[in-house]
Amino acid sequence: MRIPTRLVPAMAGTIVSCVSAVAAAQDFPNRMVRIVVPFSAGGVTDVMARGIASELGKTWAQPVVVENKPGANTIIGTEFVAKSPADGYTILMANDPSLSSNQYLYSRLPYDPVRDFTPVVNIAASITVLVAAPSLKADTLQAFIASAKADPGKRTYGSFGLGSATHLSTEEFSALAGIRLNHIPYKGIADVVPAVMSGQIDVALSAVSPVLGAIRGGKLKALAYANPTRSPVMPDVPTFAEQGLPFETRAWFGFAVPAGTPRPVVDKIAADTLRIIETPEFDQKYVSGVGLEPINQGPDAFATFLKQDRARWAERVRRVNVKLD
């Protein structure tokens, strides 16, 4: 078949582009890679990012560093990555606010969560547990709800900031329970947990891993687990549903890179990350062993997940009627 002369330059350009992308992947990485965590250090996403960074550094024989860029409900760190070169050397530890819920909470964002990012790998989900101060005179979910109804607005809860998953989820729980709680926002889990333990606030929804040791040590009371079935690492903690409230909530986190990153580079990051997180040793240390649920989705499955997650968050934000501007 004879190819029209006018198409030859375009075809040649496409071939060169494809060859360049493959070559970039074969050479990737040849210098330091950074993983940006849009939260302060010490939280579940930060710990996970550091565990993966350590293993990727061994795999790639290049330094992989974690940079914490917290603030503005993940907007600061997410915008930084969105405006970084699309070459795979800057990776976002993405989560619900950064790529799903923020677009419904703010009328304007300095980045577009759909157009500005390419999903790479969805790593794990953290199902939350409602924890209370040991001094709180309520040892069950129903007892806490009853005390909150008796003193409307007097009971307090902490979150990781306005618009965070913990803020929106607790507002949804409050609406379902028919109670009114006083919201106290913090910077992150490292601030929330001590506040609950000391009795500065009454309750908080948290991922299991940051509070598991305190629960086992009697420094926190676990009132309810937000999943249909009990957690294998906290088998004695009843679910919300078991206690008469059909409430479930979880948060996900994974890797995303700036849109336009060559697909072979995206696939390499995904494949090498999946090999790490699917090992029994890593799963036990950072995922299942600390109360998280593995997701382990590659780029295409993650992209499909995000479409569904965004629809869920759009409905949740509408239901709790929270706007941040």
**One domain, residues 54 and 90:** yes
Say how many C-beta atoms besides its own lie within 10 A of residue 97's C-beta. 27
Domains in the chain, number: 2
Residue 132, pLDDT above cutoff 90: yes
Residue 325 to residue 318: CA distance in whole angstroms:
15
Q: What angle do CA 95, 98, 99 make, to 5 degrees?
A: 85
Q: 77 in a domain, yes or no?
A: yes
Rounded to 10°, the helix 299-320/263-277 angle is: 80
Q: 22 in a domain, yes or no?
A: no
**One domain, residues 292 and 190:** no
Residue 56 to residue 113: CA distance in whole angstroms:
26
**One domain, residues 135 and 227:** yes
**One domain, residues 138 and 222:** yes
**One domain, residues 186 and 212:** yes
Residue 196 confidence (pLDDT) = 96
**One domain, residues 203 and 302:** no
Residues in contact with 83: Cβ distance below 8 Å, sequence separation at least 6, in sequence order: 111, 258
Picking from 243, 270, 305, the residue at the C-terminal end of a domain is 243
Residue 160 confidence (pLDDT) = 86
**In which element (H, E) is residue 304 found?**
helix 299-320
CATH code at 195?
Answer: 3.40.190.10
Picking from 243, 272, 304, the residue at the C-terminal end of a domain is 243
Picking from 218, 243, 268, the residue at the C-terminal end of a domain is 243
Question: Which pLDDT tens digit goes with each residue over 262-272?
Answer: 999 999 999 99
Alpha helices for 243-298 (secondary structure H)? 263-277, 280-286
Q: 11 in a domain, yes or no?
A: no
Tokens of 192: 């929330």
Q: 6 in a domain, yes or no?
A: no
Residue 27 to residue 270: CA distance in whole angstroms:
16
Q: 14 in a domain, yes or no?
A: no
Measured CA distances, 61 to 29, 245, 261, 262, 275 (Å): 9, 50, 21, 21, 16
Average pLDDT over residues 35-64: 95
Is the pTM of the predicted complex or chain greater than 0.75? yes
| Domain enclosing residue 115, as ranges | 30-125+251-320
**One domain, residues 155 and 300:** no
pLDDT band with cut points at 50, 70 and 90 for residue 170? very high
Q: 107 in a domain, yes or no?
A: yes
